[in-house]
Structure formats: C-alpha cells, structure tokens
Structure 1
Amino acid sequence: MIRHRISTGHVSAVLALDEDLDPTAAQALGPFLPGGWNLQPSSAAAGTTDVEVTVGDAGITGDMRTVRIRLPRCAADSNTLAYVTYTALERARQHHRKVTVHATALHTPGGQSVLLFGAKGSGKTSTALALAERGWTHAGDDLVVLGEYHEGVLAVWPGKPTAALRDQLQPLAPKPQQALEPFAAGPAPLGWTVRLAVHPRLATASLAPATPLSVNERLRLHENLARYIAGLPTPLNGVDGMPYGPVWPLDTPDCARWRSHLIPRLADTRFDYLHAPNPEEAADLLAEEVQVR
C-alpha cells in the first residue's frame, strides 16, 4: 500500500491506498468538499495510518486508530473515494475539536460568522444568497465545519463552496450547482446562531430567542453534531449507484463528550429562531440586527 498525507475537512491525516488505486476522480471532487480533498506523499511510519482503503467487496472494519474501508473497483476509482474518506476522517476532525454540521454559514461585514441551522427546504441557501448581495461573505452551504480554536473560541471553518438551487419552473429537475462568491478564505469566530424557517404563509419576519434551549432543541443539536460520526449513509458503490451505505462504527466516548460540551457553548452565543415569509425579508432582518449590535 502507498501512504499519503490527506488534507480534508480542515484536518490532516494518513491515508493508505492500494498501489493500483487511482485517486484522480477523487481529487477532481476536492474543491467541492469542506476544506478540500488533497493528497501528498507521506513518509509516515508503519502503524500510523488513520484510514486504509483497499479494493474488494464493500465493507468497513476498524479499531480505535484505523478505519479500514473496502470498495468495489468501480467505486474506488470514482469520486466515491473522496466522499467515504471524508466521512471516515470525521473522528480525526472531532479529536481536533472540529465537527462537520448540516448548516449554512456566512461571515458578516464585521468579520464574525453566523451559523444558519434549519431543516431541508427551510430557506438557508436562498437566505445566504440574499445576504451575499448585502455584503456578507459565504462560508459554506449545507455542510460547514464548526469547532474551537484560540483558547476555546467557537469558530466556523469554510464548508461546501457550492450551492444547489431548484428551478421553480422545473421542480422535479436536478438542482444545478453554482459556485458561492465571494467565499471565505479561513475561519471566523462564531457570533450568532440562527435556526431559520422561511415559509410564504408567514405574515412577517420575526426573531425570538432560542435560549434557554428547550429539550427538543438540544436533541436537534445532538443529532446534527453526531450526524457524520454516527454513520451518515454514504454510497459505497459510487454516487450513481445505490444511495446508501452501512452505519460506520466511528464514535468514541471522548468525541461524544466533546460534542455534548459544544451545546452549552452554542447556547452561550446569541442563538435565535428566525421566521420569515421569504428569503429577502429574512436577510433584511439579519442584516439590520448585525448593524445595530
């Protein structure tokens, strides 16, 4: 096997690949994953491998140190290699006090990050695009990296730099991807967390404090923070194949304790619920609030 130094999701680790495995397709996907996906030659000594990928029947095993993945040849030589290794390295991210979350993020003109939580279809992407028109900077759509740096300061690292928007005239058509511009070059301290709900039946835009956090809100945050390490279904047969995979045994007690620690940290920042009839009004309210703070 050939060892590489892999950098993805804002962490670096050691990846061992079968000698005849071709990572070209995975490297082409790199710019579209949070923190990229890059390989460099590694002189790591034996026994230091974080993720090992071999060709064979799809499956996964592992211990506290190494995640061992088997992929069919068609998947191993496709961009599935990038997806599955990104997910496998979630444990390494959490040991580095970072976690992949389902959220959208932006940097305000003042340099702080705002994290937008919300269910699928809640208006996160459309609101983010409207905020970019008001001078904010994109920091990731749907997938971003939340963590701690500089003596425990909460921060958001840039996430997925593209967004998919459904054509309202063709609601069943595949959603085309578009690059998010301008896009953040690095992390920014977290200044505000917002759970967003945009729906045309709402009469006006409104903000309400989410703190103290309800039991339901804490459960939602626990689920979001654990989604990747708990085994977010990942296609092991290629992105054009069956869209599911196994639940991966990646979690550790230390990671679970650290994620639990993040929830009161989020509650210590400003955390609000925002309801609006459309993305423009949601963006206006967010922009106005930032200006007066």
Structure 2
Amino acid sequence: MTAHRLTTGHVSALLLLPEALDTAPAQAADRSLPGGWTLEAALDTKEAADLEITTGAAAVTIEQDTVRLRLPAAVAASDTLAYATYTATERIRQQQHKVTVHATALIAPDGQVVLLIGAKGAGKTSTAIALAARGWTHAGDDLVVLGEWGNGGLAVWPGKPTAAIRDPTRPLAPKLRHLLEPFATGPASLARVVRVAVHPALAQASMTPAVPLSVNERLRLHEMLARYISGLPTPVTGVSGVPYGPVWPLDTPDLASWRSHLITALAGCRFDYLYAPDPETAADLLTKEGTT
C-alpha cells in the first residue's frame, strides 16, 4: 500500500492505495467535485489512515476511525475512485460541521451567499447563470458544501466549479460542461435559502416565505443533508451495468443530531419559495430582493 494525502471537499485525509494503482482517471474528475480532488505523497504515515482502498468484491466497512473501501479492480482504476473517496470523506466533513448538499450557490454583490435548492431540473443552474450576468459570483453548481463557522453562523464553501448546460437549439444533444466564472475563492456567510421552481407554465413570478417550515420541507432538508453520509450517490461497484451498493456505515447519532440542528439553523435564515416562468425573471426577482 502507498500513502497519500488526499484533499477534496474542503477536508484532508490520509489515504492508502494499492501499489501501482492508476489514479489519473480519478484526478481528471477533480472539477466534478466541490473543492477538487488532489493527491500528494504522504511524508508522515505514523498516524492511522482515514481511508484505505483495496480491490475485490465491493464492500464498505469502518474499523476504528478508518473507512475501508473494497472496490472491483476496474472500478478502483476509474474515475469512480474520486467519487467513492469523496463520499467516504463526508464523515470527516460532518465531524467538522460541514455537509455536502445538492444545491447551487451564489455570492450576491453584498458578499453574502444565496443558496438555491430544488429538484433536478427545477432551474437552479439556469437561474445562477442569469444572476452571474447581473454581477453575482458563482459558488458552486449542483454540489455545494454547507456548514457552520466557528461562531455558529452558517457558511457555504465553494462547490462544483462546472455546470452542464443544454444548448437550447439542440434539446436532445448531451449537455456541454462549462467552467463557471467568476467563481468564489473561499467560504462566505449564508444569508438566504431559496427553493426554486422555474417553468414556462408558471404565468407569474412570485416569492413566498417558507418559514415556519412545513413537515414536508423539513423532510426534504433532512434528505438533502443526509444524502452523502449514506453514500447513495456513489455505488461502490462503479456506474457501468446496473449500479447497486450497500448503505455506507458512515453515520453516527452525533452527526444525525448535528444535521437536525442545521435544519433549525436554516429555518433561521430568510427562506423563500420562488416561482418564475423563466430564469431571467427569477434572476430579476432575486436581484431586486438581494439577501435581505
């Protein structure tokens, strides 16, 4: 085994890999993950490993504080290595009061973050691009790291720096990946959460307060905050064929309790539901109201 210092998702981990494992495909996936995915040689290996990768039948176990991933050999040598190890470091993130969420974030001209949440296809990315054209700064598309400052305030760390955007003139063509610019260089305070729904069937734009949060909204937030700790986005068998995999044993009662605390903190932010017929209208309404 060879020891490496892995940095991804704004945390660092000591990673043990099989000798001569090709990590080039994983390193090529760094722009698909918040905080990138980089390896450096580990000079001091006296500490216990945070992650250990072996090859064989897919399995996930935890021994002491070491997450052990057994991946099929072809999977370990593919870009799935980046996604699997990112998911494994979610345990470290949540111990540091950070969590990976399915969301898009932007920094408003006043320096504070607006977090756009919503189902796949709700219009988060297109609204974000329209806001960037109005002077806002991208802080992550689709994947963002949300957490707490040392003083207990909420913050967003830069998320995935690329976005998949469909050419409207070729609706059946694969989405093209674009580098988001300008992009945040560090964390910023979270001021506002907006659940977005953009669809041409919506005749008028509106902004409706979501607080006090409904039971359904709390359940949706719970799923959003728990998604990566359960490992559901990353089958340890890779993505070819039929993905499957066990629920990862990464969670603890303390982490679950902290996520419940985070939902309460999110309810303390301005939290709205935004409905608009198109991204430009949504961006106009957000620009008008800002982060207040």
Q: Same fold (TM over 0.5)?
A: yes
Q: What is the SS of the residue equivalent to 1:216?
A: helix
Other-structure match for 1:23: 23
User: Residue type matched to 1:205 in 2?
Assistant: A
Q: What is the SS of the residue equivalent to 1:159?
A: coil
CA distance in 2, matches of 1:164, 1:153: 31
Alignment CA distance shift 1:261-1:44 (3 Å): farther
User: Residue type matched to 1:61 in 2?
Assistant: T
String of CA shifts for 1:224-252, please: whole Å, max 9, x gaps. 00001012141434444444433211101
With 230-239 and 91-100 compared, the bigger mean Cα shift is at: 230-239
Q: Give the CA deviation at 1:24.
A: 1.8
CA distance in 2, matches of 1:108, 1:114: 7
Q: What is the SS of the residue equivalent to 2:29?
A: helix
TM-score when scaled to structure 1? Answer: 0.95
User: Residue type matched to 1:82 in 2?
Assistant: A
Other-structure match for 2:288: 288
CA distance in 1, matches of 2:174, 2:73: 27
1:126 aligns with 2:134: no
String of CA shifts for 1:137-195, please: whole Å, max 9, x gaps. 00111100000113112000010111112234443432221111111111100011101
Alignment CA distance shift 1:176-1:246 (3 Å): farther
CA distance in 2, matches of 1:188, 1:138: 12
Other-structure match for 2:101: 101
Other-structure match for 1:135: 135
Other-structure match for 1:177: 177
Alignment CA distance shift 1:243-1:130 (3 Å): farther
User: Residue type matched to 1:112 in 2?
Assistant: Q
With 134-143 and 282-291 compared, the bigger mean Cα shift is at: 282-291
Other-structure match for 1:191: 191
Other-structure match for 2:273: 273
- Cα contact 1:17–1:52 (8 A) shared by 2: yes
- Cα contact 2:31–2:162 (8 A) shared by 1: no
Q: Give the CA deviation at 1:46.
A: 4.7
Other-structure match for 1:159: 159
CA distance in 2, matches of 1:282, 1:161: 22
RMSD (Å) for aligned C-alpha atoms = 1.6
Q: What is the SS of the residue equivalent to 1:236?
A: coil
CA distance in 2, matches of 1:165, 1:235: 25
With 5-14 and 230-239 compared, the bigger mean Cα shift is at: 230-239
CA distance in 2, matches of 1:236, 1:167: 32
Gaps of 5+ in 1: none
Other-structure match for 1:148: 148
Other-structure match for 1:77: 77
Other-structure match for 1:262: 262
CA distance in 2, matches of 1:105, 1:244: 30
CA distance in 2, matches of 1:226, 1:44: 33
Q: What is the SS of the residue equivalent to 1:256?
A: helix
1:236 aligns with 2:236: yes
- Cα contact 1:235–1:242 (8 A) shared by 2: no
CA distance in 2, matches of 1:24, 1:244: 24
Other-structure match for 1:217: 217
CA distance in 2, matches of 1:25, 1:98: 27
- Cα contact 1:158–1:184 (8 A) shared by 2: yes
CA distance in 1, matches of 2:168, 2:30: 29
The number of residues matched between the two structures is: 292
User: Residue type matched to 1:273 in 2?
Assistant: Y
User: Residue type matched to 2:278 in 1?
Assistant: N
With 234-243 and 15-24 compared, the bigger mean Cα shift is at: 234-243
User: Residue type matched to 1:252 in 2?
Assistant: T
Other-structure match for 2:203: 203
Q: Give the CA deviation at 1:118.
A: 0.4
CA distance in 2, matches of 1:249, 1:288: 44
Gaps of 5+ in 2: none
CA distance in 1, matches of 2:58, 2:47: 23
